[in-house]
Every structure is written in structure tokens, then in C-alpha cells.
């Protein structure tokens, strides 16, 4: 099942751009790099879901494969990067990364880095390929 339906791609792109624009405005008002970790623009639940799904769709295009599962609860999950697939008895791949929506969108949009969010304890990652820093930020502009 695709992370975003083809007819929702434009809505997802629009929602992601809106989130990024609001986040950049908030980023201009922060006093320190640590304050960037609190940036959390509010969108409607539907728009937030569309922004997450579209950004995960973009991630899949950049790094296709079955080896790492990226979960952004409660909105979506995708499998990316080459590597061992999940075994038939356990559908979870050996590498799993779990993030909150705002954490994911901050990194996807270049507001914060993987390292900043990891150091702050905002990333739950298990496995050998638990660093997506080489794939972020995503090209959204």
C-alpha cells in the first residue's frame, strides 16, 4: 500500500510547504539552537497527515528498499533503503526508526538535523542503519 494516494500528492506537497513556511517563521524568532527543537507549527490533523505522508513519499523516492522501517505515528510508516527484508513471520524489518510528526518534519524541512534531534532524545532507532542524516533534509522547495 502506498504511503500516499496518487490523488493526494498535491495536497501533501502543499501541506508540507505550508508547515515548512510556518516553521521557518518560528525559527527566525528563536534565541538559541536548542529552541529549534521546540518548533511545532499547528496544522489541521488532515494537513499534518498529508505533510507527513508526502514527506515519507519523498523519502521513499530518495532511498527505495525494504531494509529500514520509518514510523511517524499516528500518520504513516514506510520501508526504505536496501538491506535485509523482514522475515515472513515478523513483518518488522531489522532496522526501525520511530519519530513524532514534528520531529520528522523539522528534519525533513531542514529546521533541525538528525544529530540535534538524536542528542535531544527525540529519535527512537534500532538497528545498524539507524541514521538517516545523509538523506535529510528533503528537497521541498
What domains can you pick out in the chain, each with its CATH number? Answer: 6-135 (3.30.1050.40)
Q: Minimal CA–CA distance to 26: which of 102, 101, 100?
A: 102
What secondary structure letter does DSSP report for 4? S
pLDDT in tens, 53-97: 999 999 999 999 988 999 999 999 999 998 766 555 556 666 899
Calculate the alpha carbon distances from 84 to 1, 55, 89, 93 in Å: 20, 24, 14, 7
- According to the model, what pLDDT value does residue 85 have? 64
Residue 129: pLDDT band (50, 70, 90) is: confident
pLDDT in tens, 24-59: 999 999 888 889 999 999 999 999 999 999 999 999
DSSP 9-44: HHHHHHHHHHHHHHHHHHHHT-SSGGGGGG------
* Angle in degrees, CA 49, 51, 55, rounded to 5: 120
How close are the terminal C-alpha atoms of the chain, in Å?
27
Q: Distance between CA 82 and CA 16 in Å, rounded?
A: 26
Amino acid at each position: 500500500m502506498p504511503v500516499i494516494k496518487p490523488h493526494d500528492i498535491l495536497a501533501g506537497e502543499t501541506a508540507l510547504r505550508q508547515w515548512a513556511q510556518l516553521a521557518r517563521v518560528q525559527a527566525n524568532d528563536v534565541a538559541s539552537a536548542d529552541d529549534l527543537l521546540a518548533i511545532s507549527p499547528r496544522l489541521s490533523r488532515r494537513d499534518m497527515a498529508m505533510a507527513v505522508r508526502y514527506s515519507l513519499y519523498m523519502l521513499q523516492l530518495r532511498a527505495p528498499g525494504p531494509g529500514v522501517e520509518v514510523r511517524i505515528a499516528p500518520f504513516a510508516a514506510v520501508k526504505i533503503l536496501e538491506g535485509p527484508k523482514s522475515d515472513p513471520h515478523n513483518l518488522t524489518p531489522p532496522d526501525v526508526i520511530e519519530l513524532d510528526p514534528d520531529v520528522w518534519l523539522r528534519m525533513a524541512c531542514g529546521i533541525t538535523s538528525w544529530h540535534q534531534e538524536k542528542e535531544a532524545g527525540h529519535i527512537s532507532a534500532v538497528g545498524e542503519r539507524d541514521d538517516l542524516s545523509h538523506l535529510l533534509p528533503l528537497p521541498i522547495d
